[in-house]
Structure 1
């Protein structure tokens, strides 16, 4: 999996991308008025560096919480990677059938199905054949032909993915799935559960998507900066995050053409990338939901995305279109 969100997490300011400690090490910040300190650890997962930052009064408990959080997130990566032969997703794509699916995999598939139903198929985890086709063509500096796209599109369809507690299988040969639009958000949820189990109430978890709880200091919320989709040195917005998860999907994270017209996000109904938005940032109660919605809204486009977001409690949205025009939902917590 490749990191899709390019959000800078600010422990002190939002001036740039956050620096991370070495895997397994802890970095302490200045003492907060409450007597607590910031502790931080990092590890490798999802093809990038993930991190956990906690505010706590006990160093040993903070270190254990960070260790547990990183372990929990890496476990999800090992389970759902499309690249690792040991992962259940890899085995399903290879064999077309998976026996004894892990409970975490079933939880993510249930969310995927719910999003697919709710969005009338705009979200679809079975778009992997389209990604494989476009990736292979891009490696040859080409675009797929219409015939090739139609052939790949015929192997896409969320209703053709069947599962229960005993097995997961494809109803049609040649199908494959990717959970890149859900797994990192779900990993953030699992990392949060791990730190809370250690009694830590103030934490920022970065798995490529972000989950924040509590505060980074007394009366100071966790603050995030969202990357401009066309300039990695510019922040498109700065926001405070209190008790929600943040996920961004964008056409710049993995692009097949220099004009960003063809990229890693696919509209299943078109067999190609959606044409309107450059990025969609979502705040939601859970990482799993924020992650899935950010992909969904890239596909639906802005008008439908804002109408859908308005129906959901605790969900806010910011979109940037291909012309650089920004729009935010009324509750989007941007810092002026």
Structure 2
């Protein structure tokens, strides 16, 4: 989200900065290849671009540089296809059609799969991870809009339109059980797309790659068998790193309240609690290390608005999930790391 879950055409003062504070290399707008660098006898090929309104990048090692470039073209095309399903930025996406009409007939298989995974994280977090918070986002975007609005509603009425248990989906139809509901998949879709790219590269025979389609996932270690090192930036001073994590086959995602704010002082931000309708600010940032980018993405979103004890309870019963919390008091709390 930041990735802010704002629909095309929304008018507000919200800070459009993406919520993620993981930093590795800078990205450029559009599809472009950066110069390859020799690493032993294996060329390194970089791609940098944008996806779902945020920076994206790939780093591949392969003996044949032209093969790596063709693979990048293929996975980027797939990522862009998925973006046209899940995006709140693309005016003709299936998600925007669903939100506009309240139903979507013959939904893409990927949307049904992602809704099923969303339900799993909704359950494991006690309903804190909830993609139906989009009406709350629109409520606050409208509230702090420079243009104002004549259709502002009390928060309690907005909350009545939030609740993943009121989303029905199957291979034939996705629909909302209440009028005025809307979904944002920005808290999980980047991870899903990252995992899809990972699986495509693995199937194509790649052994070493670092993938960032909104979240980071490693396909094996680097070609010299050392892990990838991912720096975690200070959410308030993004030019500074306060920690690093190593990854050789899993994923890392970070969420921060400062990633997208509605008001100037940041008291109201994009990480919205579906039960309360407010933006808790327990942490400056939350980083999750998990086997998949989908898992890391969803949990970093949910954990950002959960107390420490609740985070520990969820993380400790999930395999291979680690959490790095940085509190507002600048205290670091590690769970399973």
Aligned length: 322
1:21/1:27 contact within 8 Å kept: no
1:202-221 aligned at under 5 Å gives the runs 202-221=208-227
SS in 1 for 2:295: helix
Of 284, 303, 316, the residue aligned with 2:322 is: 316
Deviation at 1:74, TM superposition (A): 1.7
Q: 2:312 aligns with which of 306, 316, 321?
A: 306
> SS state of the match for residue 327, structure 1?
strand
How much has 1:205 moved relative to structure 2? 0.7
Does 1:85 find its partner at 2:95? no
CA–CA distance in structure 2, aligned partners of residues 69 and 188 of structure 1: 10
Contact kept? 2:52, 2:89, Cα under 8 Å: no
Question: Which residue in 2 is equivalent to 1:13?
Answer: none
Q: Distance in 2 between matches of 1:142 and 1:260?
A: 19
2:73 to 61, 64, 67: 67
- In the TM superposition, residue 243 of structure 1 has moved relative to its aligned partner by 0.6
Please give the alpha-carbon distance, in whole angstroms, between the structure 2 residues aligned to 1:208 and 1:97.
27
Q: CA deviation at 1:214?
A: 1.6
Structure 2 distance, partners of 1:96, 1:19, is 36
| Range with bigger deviation, 294-303 or 22-31 | 22-31
* Structure 1: stretches of 5+ with no match in the other structure: 10-16
Matches of residues 1-336 of structure 1 in structure 2 within 5 Å? 2=3, 3-9=18-24, 17-18=25-26, 23-32=31-40, 35-140=41-146, 148-330=154-336, 332=337
User: Could you tell me whether the CA contact under 8 Å between 2:285 and 2:304 is conserved in 1?
Assistant: yes
Contact 1:21 1:40 in 2 (8 A): no
Give unmatched runs, 5+ long, in structure 2: 4-17
CA deviation string 1:23-66 (max 9, x = no partner) = 2324211232xx21211112322112311110111112111221
* 1:129-148 CA distance string (max 9 Å, x none): 000010111223989x9962
- Relative to the length of structure 2, the TM-score reads 0.90
CA distance in 1, matches of 2:70, 2:207: 14
Contact 1:50 1:70 in 2 (8 A): no
CA contact (8 A) 2:38 2:44 kept: yes
| Runs of 4+ displaced beyond 4 Å | 19-22
**Alpha-carbon distance in 2 for matches of 1:29, 1:148:** 56
Query: Matched residues in 2 for 1:43 and 1:68: separation?
Result: 14
Distance 1:65 1:274, change over 3 A: same
Contact 2:283 2:328 in 1 (8 A): yes
TM-score normalised to structure 1 length: 0.90
Contact 2:250 2:290 in 1 (8 A): yes
Partner secondary structure for residue 199 of structure 2: helix
1:125 CA displacement: 0.5
